[in-house]
Every structure is written in C-alpha cells, then in structure tokens.
Amino acid sequence: MLRSRVVGRSPHRLLLIEAADMPSLLQRHLYPLVALMGLLLWALAPRAGLHTEALVMGWSLTVLALGWALERRWPFEACWRTPVERDTRIDAPSALLVMAAVDPLLKAGLPLLAAAGIAALPVLGTLWPHSWPLALQWVVALLWVELAKYATHRAHHEWSPLWRLHALHHGSERLYWLNNFRVHPLNFVLVTAAALLPLQLLGAPADLLLGVLAFTQPVMLLQHSNADLRNGFWNALFSTNEAHRWHHSAEAHEANRNYGAALLIWDHVFGTYLAAPAGHRPERVGLFGDGDGYPSRASFWCQLLGGRSCRPLCSPVCCV
C-alpha cells in the first residue's frame, strides 16, 4: 500500500522535510559512488603498500557514518529520526554480537572448512578459473554471492523455520542506520556461508572475495538508512534504501520482494523485483500479517532464544 511522502504531523499542518539542500551528487548517485570507491580502494591498496582489508573496512565504516549523518540532517521520515529505546535495546546488542563475535568466527572458520573439504576431495580446489582475467573472475564471484544471498534470503521468508530467525530483522517499525545489524546470528551464518563457502571450496582467492565485499558492503550499509535519497534509475540495480523500504513493508505482497543483498539483479531474473515509486513508502513497516505470534517487542535476548511469552519492552514511537 502506498503512502505519500508526508513525514510528520503537527496539530495544525503537515510538515514536509525539504531535502533540496542535500548535494545532488549525494542524493541521486550515492550508491554507485560508495560501491565504486570501495572497489577502487581494493584495487589500489596493494600498489600503495596499504593493508587492503583494513582499508576496505575503514571505507565501510565511513559509509556507515555518512548514512547516519545524512539521515540526521535530511531524514526521509522525521519521526524515524527520533530515538526509540526499544529499538536501541535490540539493535545495539545484536550489532555487538554479530560484528564482534559471529563475523570474526566466520572469517576464521569458513576458510578452515573449505581447506578440510579440499583436503578430502583435492579436485575441488582446482575448479576455480584462475586463468581468467581478474575482472571476469570478480564478476563471476559477485554474481554467485548475490545469487546465494538472494536464495537464502528468500528461503528465510518462505520457509517458516527460517522465518522464525529472520523475523527478528523485520520486527522494527521504523528504518534507520542501525537496523543493518538487527539480525539473528544463525540467519547471518547461513547467508554468509551460502555465499562464501562454495567459492572457497572451488579455490577462489581470498583477495578476490574481499574485492566483492569492497563493492557490496558499502551498499548494504546504506540499505536501511532513513536519509532522503532519491536514487532514480539506480533503484532498479542497487538494493537502495528506497527499494529496500518496500521489503520491510507490513504487507506481505510488498515485503516478499526485493530480496537482493547489494544488487537486485536476481529479483529481476526471478520476478520478485518491486519498483520503488518516487516519494512514497509503504503504509507501515514491520512484521507482515500477524507476525505468526513473533515477540517483536521483547528484548533482543528473548527474541534470540525464540521465546513466545517474553515481556514487551517500552512501546515504540510511531508515525501516524
């Protein structure tokens, strides 16, 4: 269901957020800029004698900070800018757990699993096309990563046991920069392993996979931003915040669309792409339907453990 771009109310008049002051280059072309800059840093770091992974991670953090700054200065929805204690008490521990524990464990563990698989079946490690041009190898790896993430994301929507994990991510009733990290650890593990482990088993170089991350991660870190970006035709290629808002709709026919991680290529291929009407958002974001009894207003730890009888946290401040 469409909602016009009214972003707040007063007793006497509707307040519209004017975003004309945002530099046009940022407002309309931020996604390709951050993605290509990440790719450029990945390509140039070795030649400059810099630590490639540190540079890529530093750029990603810069993009995350930029998304926060833009949504503070030029919000799409004014009331989404207001801090909500319940969101912070869910999103902050989720971010800490995933980024400080789960992600490092995956970075260490997946290569070990791949090495064990190659040791058991050595032919696996010879299948990656190392002789191809680096750019072509990068495209193949990118397409696989996006396909694997698309498939696992869609499975988390369509198979109820996985939906119980993924519902944590959809529980917020507003979208803002920290929503990026509201994710069940097992959901994160399944998506990441599906994307990377097959490539590692085939012998894809670790630096090549870092190049894919350098391109895709900045895009994903802006995906939930409340910044008033007007991406235009980029909405059909990148999983922008405009396109991704529809994936967070409380209407199932809108939420079961735009599954792509950084790119929407596979949504076009499999018929799940939903165009983002300029200046509109879903009527409401959050769990669609009745949420299957999911305790979305409970604490992060209660949701993590799958409890159905958890005590709710404070009620959110919602747009009306």
Q: For residue range 208-219, what is the model confidence (pLDDT) as tens digits?
A: 999 999 999 999
Which of 277, 272, 59 minimizes the C-alpha distance to 151? 272
DSSP one-letter code for 181:
G
Q: CA geometry: angle at 104 spanning 145 and 137, to 5°?
A: 30
Number of domains in the chain: 1
- Residue 5 placed within a domain: no
Nearest alpha carbon to residue 267 among 121, 146, 165:
146
Q: Is residue 317 part of a domain?
A: no
At 91, list the tokens.
């999103």
φ and ψ at residue 318, rounded to 5 degrees: -115, 155
Q: Per the confidence metrics, is the pTM higher than 0.95?
A: no
Neighbouring C-beta atoms of residue 312, cutoff 10 Å: 12
Domain range enclosing 103:
23-304
Residue 1 lies in a domain: no
Rounded Cα gap, residues 264 and 235, in angstroms: 8
Give the CA diameter of the chain: 72
* Dihedrals phi, psi of 244, to nearest 5 degrees: -75, -20
**Residue at 4 is within a domain:** no
Residue 16 lies in a domain: no
- Residue 30 located in a structural domain: yes
Return the half-sphere exposure (C-beta side, CA atoms, 13 A cut-off) of residue 259. 26
What average pLDDT does the segment 93-111 reach? 97
In a domain, 309, yes or no: no
In the predicted model, what is the mean pLDDT of the chain? Answer: 89
Model confidence at 314, in pLDDT bands (50, 70, 90)?
very low
Type of residue at 188: F
Which range is least confidently modeled, 50-64, 66-80, 281-295, 302-316?
302-316
